[in-house]
Amino acid sequence: MNGLLAVWPREWSRERRSTATIAVASLALLLFLWVLGRLLSLLPDPVHTWAGEFAKGTVVTLELTIASGLLGMVMGVLAAVAKMSRIWPVRLVAEFYIWVLRGTPLLVQILFVYFALPSRLSLTEFHSAVLALGLNVGAYNAEAIRAGIQAVPKGQTEAARSLGLKPLQTFRHVVFPQGMKIALPPLVNNIVALLKDSSLAYSIGVLELANAGNRANAQTFLPIPLFTTTAAIYLVLTTVMTQISGAIEHQLDVEGRAV
């Protein structure tokens, strides 16, 4: 057990320690966002001058991560189920989606969504980035979810069928929930990776954290303090999100392997 999970009293249950970790890490993240601009304004120039831009960029980065993460989870579930379908056209579409999105650079996908999709969709830079990031992480989530579903022992399905459950009921109430729990570790890792991948949204003009640092550098030509600040903010964000995701994984541990 690592991080905040090890801080809580040993006599607390696993669920209680995990819940406390999620609550503390979430509050720490909100507090960090609230005081970030003020903290950066205490630093010398050029960080002081660009403190507000860094704070706004950090909020946009989290918004990108949350929105595209939710879209990616939905796409991952749909693609995973479709890939295991017995209807070959449905399976073929899912396999093609996963093959293309996993086999091409994310930067190219972001540029394609922004520049190549019909203009009548009226996608803003932010929405284009969310769509591209969500579709990309959805392809990776699909493989994780599919592997989790296929890892559920066949005895669970046989037991459910013996109790009179129909195939759809068996999948919905027995197989799918267990498969999602098994797939949880790679899914939370994908979300943490998504936070860092969101920096590629700068390529289409989204003013997220990396773009804020890049714009400040273009004006001041002082890359060391500016990009050090950018990296430090990313490090804080990923650390807090890792604590939250680790606590969720610990709380939902299927086999009780966590101590």
**Under 8 Å between Cβ of 36 and 233:** yes
Q: Is residue 239 part of a domain?
A: yes
139 touches 103 (CB < 8 A) = no
pLDDT confidence tier of residue 259, bands split at 50, 70 and 90? very low
- Distance (Å, rounded) from C-alpha 165 to C-alpha 257? 30
In a domain, 257, yes or no: no
When pLDDT is averaged across residues 157-172 and rounded to a whole number, the result is 85
253: pLDDT confidence band, cut at 50, 70 and 90? low
Question: Are residues 212 and 49 in contact, defined by beta-carbon separation less than 8 angstroms?
Answer: no
Residue 177 lies in a domain: yes
In the predicted model, is pLDDT for residue 10 greater than 50?
Answer: yes
Mean pLDDT along residues 64-70: 95
Taking the C-alpha atoms of residue 31 and residue 236, their distance in angstroms, rounded to an integer, is: 12
**Mean pLDDT over the full length of the chain:** 87
| pLDDT score of 246 more than 70 | yes
Confidence of residue 13 (pLDDT cuts 50, 70, 90): low
The answer to whether position 67 is within a domain reads yes
Q: How many domains does the chain have?
A: 1
What percent of the chain clears pLDDT 70, i.e. is strictly above it? 86
CA-to-CA separations, 103 to 45, 52, 114, 189, in angstroms, rounded: 42, 37, 19, 19
Does residue 168 have a pLDDT over 90?
A: no
More confident residue, 116 or 122: 116
Identify whether 172 is part of a domain.
yes
Distance spanning both ends of the chain, measured CA to CA: 7
Q: pLDDT band for position 97 (50/70/90)? A: very high
Distances (CA, A) of 244 to 3, 84, 166, 212, 251: 10, 31, 36, 26, 11
In a domain, 256, yes or no: no
91 inside domain: yes
Q: What is the CATH number of the domain that holds 74?
A: 1.10.3720.10
| Lowest-confidence pick of 42-56, 85-99, 155-169, 214-228 | 155-169
* pLDDT of 254: 45
Is 70 exceeded by the pLDDT of residue 55?
Answer: yes
Confidence of residue 157 (pLDDT cuts 50, 70, 90): confident
Q: Which domain holds residue 116?
A: 3-251
Q: How far apart are CA 190 and CA 80, in angstroms?
A: 15
Note the helical H segments in 125-222. Answer: 125-150, 154-162, 167-170, 176-182, 184-197, 209-220
Q: How many residues does the chain have?
A: 259
Comparison of pLDDT for 95 and 157, the residue scoring more: 95
- 252 band by pLDDT with thresholds 50, 70 and 90: low
Q: Cα 112 to the chain's mean position, in Å?
A: 21
Q: What is the pLDDT of residue 112?
A: 94
Determine the Cα–Cα distance for residues 208 and 54; give it in Å rounded to an integer: 8
